[in-house]
Structure 1
Amino acid sequence: MAPLPQALLRVPTKGNLIPVRKAQIAKRQAILQHIIDTVDVDQASFETVYEPVLRYDDMVSDHVDMIAMLRYGSQDAEVQAEVVECSKLWSEHNVWVDSQEQLIRLKLAAGGKTDGLDPESKRLLMRRTEWLRHMGYGDIEAETKTAFLSTRKQISKLCEEFNRNIRLYDGGHLLFSDAELKGLKEGVIEAYEKDQVGKRRVPMRQADYIRIMREATILTTRKTFHEAWAARLPENVAIFREVILLRDENARRMGYKSDADFNLFSRMAKSTEWVEDLLTDLGNKLIGPGKVLFKEMEDLKRRLMEEKSEAVDVGSDTAVQPWERLYLATLLERERRIDQKVISAYFPFKETSAAILGNISSYLQLRLEPVAKEDLEGCIWSHDVDVWAVWDEGEEENGQFVGYFYADLLDRENKYKHNQTVELQASYLREDGTRPLPAGILMCCFSPEVVDGCKVLKHENIITMYHELGHALQVLLSRTKWSTYHGYNVALEFGEGIGTAMENYAWLKEELQSISCHYAYTDDAYMQSWQKNNPDKPLPPRTLPDGLIEDLVNDRKTRRIESYLKQLSDAGFDMAVHNPKSHADLEKLDETKIYHDLKEMYMFIRPTVPSYPQADFSHLMSGYNSGYYSYICSNIFGEEIYQSNFAADPTSKTAWKRFRRELLQYGGSRDQTELLEEFLGRPPTTAALLKSLGIE
């Protein structure tokens, strides 16, 4: 058995996480204390104040990343609890760091000494100095600083309360008879418990809400559930209002025009005016096409009214109601012949995921070599995790080891219920000039349907895989001096733009045909089962047929326009509450009404009253305040990257090499606005996005 090119990281055992993290934090604190005790202000520099702790952070980054990953990937709830405790220890350490006034003075003194630094270290020093001043340190009055920091803590506590209310929300259940649940599958109905009079207890959970809205035939069932769902979490309304007022007050205290202006520091946008203009311009271009699509829904409702359907309110006008929207959208999908079950049959989990990895590695001239299971003992957190050693096969780097790629794709108990890429090992430059090579995890939460014994993926899973592979490539292919800038440690708009660019591959005819294979052809047992269950039908095509691909692609434009309009309503609300003209204007603002107005403007349906859409908008209480527009920007940037570099020849090795060398390899070590403009040869615009939607 050939030796591994680099030792695999080992998974810490239960009971060891907290002692290891305590030791790391104690060592880091000792390094910082030594700097405080031995460095005078006039001696402060990048080398004396920053470099010692950066070197230590680099050295332990793999252990830190592994511990953090277990919060998402471990099957053991006790291990996850240990990780949470480790996070608390780190937070306590940061509180200690923030309280060290001499350390802050040293950092600020070092901030002006950039001569002789390499570009990445210079960027790091300048950004951290800017951040300190931004967060209330530096040359400001003591009273102002105290008020700013105190208000920031108050905001943090309120945000924790807001998100805790969402996390712990238990709306109980609603009672429906089997007849009232008409339209749901029999097995789904049977899974709901009965009460003493025979009615089904349907939990007030998001998954059940969406199921009822999409599938329940009876209008009153959907209306009852929707009205209860829309009015949940009223206690968060007052918390939300208090937070936005405090944020605005704090931003103005520091000399900024608004919270949005204050938060531009960490974004690619250069002004709040740019953001407002972008949202207005894109909205003006999308509302018209959106209304055309919405008219299809109104026409469908009109037909159902004429048929006296129990699914719509035949006594009302043709205005689509909030509890009708998802149901009508589902019917329109069927009319457009988008049968997701038929499509899923062409995406057997094992074969399709392997084909996607094979294609992307081929385009990049990389080779994935599976790591033997015996080499993985003690190095993976679940038996269904696969690992590959990644090697370069390009002319310049032929035979060089790139890093390790992990795939953890299936749902399991206690696993994080979303999809993400996780950095397990950053690459950085050691003092001796060597570097550890990176490791990244494609961590998804797929629950494939089993058909004739074969696990099959939905097309939405395919989109997710390509998107997250974009982030995985950021981890594998970036090469930075410091671990803090490695991989996807970039501005949100830029990082998500990489993933969005990659999503286009999930819609290309040739790509879909190359990664698809009807499950019946992958195993003799599956073929026998298929023939037994379909005795009078001819064998299905081996790969996804042209007609199904065309239906998918045509439906994509519709879905994207609707999705962008929803994002515009949410981003518009974010800016409305975080970028008022004055504090007095914000005090007068009725945030519930403004959100309802925006929903009506962009989605063409007035929300019901009472309803509080801001009450569960957790993004705005979790660090994305004044930044929700970034999701729209990421789509703009992603389309620019794809159209300018890949559209002419999606498999071009030259295009993929350029993608790697000019975007991915820098991580966050360069200004991403400059990087993107260099790549495009101009500033990005909305033209590529609108073109992809068929809008001139």
Structure 2
Amino acid sequence: MTALPQPLLRIPAKEDLVSIQKGLIAGRKELIETIMTSVSLKKATFDNVYAPVLRYDDSTLNDTNMNMTLRYASTDADVQSEAETGEKLWSDHGTWVQGQEKFMQLTMAAGERMNGLNPESRRRLEKRVEYLKRLGHGSLDKDTRKAYLDTRKEINDLCQEINRNIRLYDGGNLPFTEKELDGLEQIDVEKFVKDESGKCLVPLNRAEFAKVMAHVSSYNTRKTFHDAWTSRLPENVPLFRKVILLRDENARRIGFRSDADLCLAGRMAKSTEWAEQLLADLASHLREPGRDLFRELETIKARLTEKGDKSVDVKANTAVRRCEVAYLKEIQARENKVDHKAISAYLPYKETTAAILRNVTRYLQLRLEPIAKTDLVGCVWSDDVDVWAVWDEGEEKGQFVGYFYGDLLDRPNKYKHNQTVELQASFLKEDGSRPYPAAILMCSFSPDIVDGCQVLPHSNIITLYHGKTKWGDSHGYRVCLEFGEAIGTCMENYAWLEDELKMISCHYAYTGDAYMQAWMERHPGQALPPRELPANLISEMIRRRSKHRISYYLKQIADASFDMAVHNPKTHQDLESLDETTLFQDFEAQSTFTPAERSSYPQAAFSHLVSGYNSGYYAYVCSNVFGEEIFQSNFAVDPTSTAAWNRFRRQLLEYGGSRDQTEVLEEFLGRPPTTASLLKSLEIN
């Protein structure tokens, strides 16, 4: 192991978490009060007003980022609760800062004296001044501003409550006989605890939901599980309604047409009209191809209905129900010779994640060295977490880059979505030195177990490629939503390249003697499977890719359209009269071509809209437009080109949020982005 120039962050004791955040907040408050008493409006500059706060914030990032990480991922519910308390203290402090009119005036006055500032400092101050103007500083009276801040605090508290309900959700178990679970692998059935009557108690969680929907042959079992899952968290429904009403009220209070009008001012989609037009244009291109694909499922159901097969609702004739879709797609995949279980056997968890890491680091001209588990004691929040030291192998060969953490497996109380989290940021200190960054790829994978080996579905491989490049960004994640997601969606293409899939795959039987022995016992007399993923499995999977993506994008467009509908109403009265539950059900029905599910609460578990993505979910759609442009223009000819990867790293990743991302993207492409590359990749003219 090469000597490391920066130690890993230590995890603070549970009893210290809140006091640490209180101390940081007290220091920041004292600094702001000092600035307000010592600087006059006539003398206000970036250096004496804004820079001191930025430097202080930089110095606290390790502690605030660690607190956020523990809230997302600690194995101790009490630690999560303490971390959540710390985050609420910061939210309250933010409200206090917004209420300090003198400090706001000083910041805006500094914005009038930007001559001589370097481009990055100028951009930071310009964005801050623009933000303050959007919030009405300099134009609103004191009472209106106070009402705005009080309401914002109420919104933050409600969002925190909704997220807590999602994170701590325990749906209990649903009882089924083994016969009612026909279609599941026997190993999956055997792991269920049984009640006194001998029924299997199936946990109501995301992993079991996916398996039951795709593999259980009983329509009644799937419908029971589906209805329970989609109607979970009813307590969040009134909370969410209150949030959207307060957001709209608050945006209009300070002069904006809606919450979306307020939020989009700082993003790449400069207006609500632009975002809504993008969603409408893509929907118009995708809906008919999507409908054609859905007819294939209707044909399969009609065939099953004619036979009286109990795997479908024969009373519904050929109208496909939501709880039938995944099951019918599995039949469709088998008929198209796409065997998802056979593919998973070639994607063992440990070996595949390591192979993807090797490939991506080689492309980026980086080298990873694993940190020994014994050296991680006191530095990681779960034994599942792996850490690597990252070194440059390119122009600055031998230079330490930072740390990369992998926290990929699901756990109780862990955040249930996939994200990249900044743990340590890189910034310029006053003495000219710069700390090294550390990033976490945090997922919630639930691998299948085959002969004792954990194996991943191909969908998890797509997620891994999406997240693995973001630690190459030496300036952290302070970028527009659209830009940050575009980097990841560009990389998802690598999960569909034949040569790449061969390199990262290895049949689990070859990863350990015990696994080989178990495989041979289950397949007596059979020839050993190929070591790499066979070409026939790869080709069929790739051939079906565009069809799968059309369905995926229609779902994303539905979610984004709901987001815009509840955050960009024409009038507040329109929002008050809106039934947002029915609206979301209708959007889902349109995107899936199935009847609306009137017992569901799709917004109740939609954590993005209460976690900073309000009026911003369109970014997932937009990022696919941008990401496909990046891939087609830079990587399509030679995905492993060192020059292409170096250009990607230097001209996109390393700017971070230091430059306008629209300018960065257009410079990289040599033109403004369009939807042409995305539609071409979907085989749509």
Partners of 2:266 and 2:163 lie apart in 1 by 23
CA contact (8 A) 1:234 1:615 kept: yes
Query: Which sits farther off after the overlay, 433-442 or 190-199?
Result: 190-199
1:517 maps to what in 2? 506
Partners of 2:165 and 2:414 lie apart in 1 by 22
Matched, 1:6 2:3: no
Amino acid across the alignment from 2:368? L
Compared with structure 1, are the counterparts of its residues 635 and 534 closer, same or farther at alpha carbon in structure 2 (3 Å cutoff)?
same
Compared with structure 1, are the counterparts of its residues 157 and 348 closer, same or farther at alpha carbon in structure 2 (3 Å cutoff)?
closer
**Pairwise mapping of residues 154-165 of structure 1 onto structure 2 (< 5 A)?**
154-163=154-163
1:551 maps to what in 2? 540
CA contact (8 A) 2:555 2:592 kept: yes
Residue 535 of structure 1: how far off its partner (Å): 2.4
2:17 maps to what in 1? 17
CA contact (8 A) 1:195 1:201 kept: yes
Matched, 1:600 2:599: no
Amino acid across the alignment from 1:516? S
Q: Could you say what secondary structure the match of 2:544 adopts?
A: helix
2:476 maps to what in 1? 487
Partners of 2:531 and 2:559 lie apart in 1 by 42
1:49 maps to what in 2? 49
Amino acid across the alignment from 2:432? G
Deviation string, structure 1 residues 561-604 (Cα, Å, up to 9, x no partner):
11111111122222222223333444444434433433333221
Partners of 1:108 and 1:151 lie apart in 2 by 23
Query: Which sits farther off after the overlay, 419-428 or 304-313?
Result: 419-428
Deviation string, structure 1 residues 633-683 (Cα, Å, up to 9, x no partner):
111111111111111100001001110111111111111111111111111
**Pairwise mapping of residues 381-530 of structure 1 onto structure 2 (< 5 A)?**
381-383=381-383, 385-394=385-394, 396-411=395-410, 415-474=414-473, 478=474, 486-530=475-519
Amino acid across the alignment from 2:64? V
Compared with structure 1, are the counterparts of its residues 255 and 23 closer, same or farther at alpha carbon in structure 2 (3 Å cutoff)?
closer
**Pairwise mapping of residues 204-353 of structure 1 onto structure 2 (< 5 A)?**
204-231=204-231, 236-353=236-353
Deviation string, structure 1 residues 177-210 (Cα, Å, up to 9, x no partner):
5544444455655665666666665555444544
Query: Which sits farther off after the overlay, 22-31 or 222-231?
Result: 222-231
CA contact (8 A) 1:219 1:312 kept: yes
CA contact (8 A) 2:167 2:415 kept: no
Q: Could you say what secondary structure the match of 1:527 adopts?
A: helix
CA contact (8 A) 2:360 2:469 kept: no
Partners of 1:405 and 1:231 lie apart in 2 by 37
Matched, 1:649 2:648: no
Compared with structure 1, are the counterparts of its residues 171 and 381 closer, same or farther at alpha carbon in structure 2 (3 Å cutoff)?
closer
Compared with structure 1, are the counterparts of its residues 621 and 305 closer, same or farther at alpha carbon in structure 2 (3 Å cutoff)?
same
Q: Could you say what secondary structure the match of 1:648 adopts?
A: coil
1:27 maps to what in 2? 27
For normalisation by structure 1, the TM-score amounts to: 0.90
Matched, 1:94 2:98: no
Amino acid across the alignment from 1:536? G
Residue 83 of structure 1: how far off its partner (Å): 2.3
Compared with structure 1, are the counterparts of its residues 384 and 604 closer, same or farther at alpha carbon in structure 2 (3 Å cutoff)?
closer
Q: Could you say what secondary structure the match of 1:284 adopts?
A: helix
Structure 1 alignment gaps of length 5 or more = 479-485
CA contact (8 A) 2:91 2:156 kept: no
Compared with structure 1, are the counterparts of its residues 166 and 451 closer, same or farther at alpha carbon in structure 2 (3 Å cutoff)?
closer
Amino acid across the alignment from 2:47? E
Amino acid across the alignment from 1:494? F
2:558 maps to what in 1? 569
CA contact (8 A) 1:596 1:606 kept: no
Partners of 1:415 and 1:610 lie apart in 2 by 27
Amino acid across the alignment from 1:658? R
Deviation string, structure 1 residues 398-417 (Cα, Å, up to 9, x no partner):
33222223334445566544
Q: Could you say what secondary structure the match of 2:423 adopts?
A: strand
CA contact (8 A) 2:167 2:413 kept: no
2:680 maps to what in 1? 691
Residue 157 of structure 1: how far off its partner (Å): 4.4
1:536 aligned residue (525, 531, 537): 525
Q: Could you say what secondary structure the match of 2:330 adopts?
A: helix
Query: Which sits farther off after the overlay, 252-261 or 678-687?
Result: 252-261
CA contact (8 A) 2:36 2:102 kept: yes
Partners of 1:374 and 1:223 lie apart in 2 by 47
For normalisation by structure 2, the TM-score amounts to: 0.92
Q: Could you say what secondary structure the match of 2:361 adopts?
A: helix
Compared with structure 1, are the counterparts of its residues 186 and 51 closer, same or farther at alpha carbon in structure 2 (3 Å cutoff)?
same
Compared with structure 1, are the counterparts of its residues 653 and 195 closer, same or farther at alpha carbon in structure 2 (3 Å cutoff)?
closer
Q: Percent identity?
A: 59
Compared with structure 1, are the counterparts of its residues 32 and 445 closer, same or farther at alpha carbon in structure 2 (3 Å cutoff)?
same
Deviation string, structure 1 residues 258-310 (Cα, Å, up to 9, x no partner):
22212112321011111121111101110111011100010001100111111
Partners of 2:135 and 2:553 lie apart in 1 by 33
Query: Which sits farther off after the overlay, 502-511 or 19-28?
Result: 19-28
Deviation string, structure 1 residues 355-391 (Cα, Å, up to 9, x no partner):
2222112212222234456655544444554433322
Query: Which sits farther off after the overlay, 330-339 or 652-661?
Result: 330-339
Partners of 1:273 and 1:500 lie apart in 2 by 24
Partners of 2:372 and 2:235 lie apart in 1 by 53
Q: Could you say what secondary structure the match of 2:262 adopts?
A: helix
2:664 maps to what in 1? 675
CA contact (8 A) 2:290 2:550 kept: yes
Deviation string, structure 1 residues 451-475 (Cα, Å, up to 9, x no partner):
344443332222222111022222x
Amino acid across the alignment from 2:429? R
CA contact (8 A) 1:180 1:221 kept: yes
Q: Could you say what secondary structure the match of 2:15 adopts?
A: coil
Partners of 1:90 and 1:293 lie apart in 2 by 48
CA contact (8 A) 2:99 2:146 kept: no
Q: Could you say what secondary structure the match of 1:15 adopts?
A: helix
Amino acid across the alignment from 2:549? R
Compared with structure 1, are the counterparts of its residues 430 and 227 closer, same or farther at alpha carbon in structure 2 (3 Å cutoff)?
closer
Residue 237 of structure 1: how far off its partner (Å): 4.5
Partners of 1:17 and 1:252 lie apart in 2 by 37
CA contact (8 A) 2:305 2:312 kept: yes
Partners of 2:417 and 2:184 lie apart in 1 by 25
Partners of 1:7 and 1:592 lie apart in 2 by 49
CA contact (8 A) 1:136 1:148 kept: no
Compared with structure 1, are the counterparts of its residues 514 and 148 closer, same or farther at alpha carbon in structure 2 (3 Å cutoff)?
same
Partners of 2:177 and 2:3 lie apart in 1 by 63
2:84 maps to what in 1? 84
Compared with structure 1, are the counterparts of its residues 21 and 541 closer, same or farther at alpha carbon in structure 2 (3 Å cutoff)?
same
Amino acid across the alignment from 2:152? R
Structure 2 alignment gaps of length 5 or more = none
2:572 aligned residue (573, 576, 583): 583
Deviation string, structure 1 residues 15-74 (Cα, Å, up to 9, x no partner):
343343333333222222221221122222111111112212222322332343233444
Matched, 1:64 2:64: yes
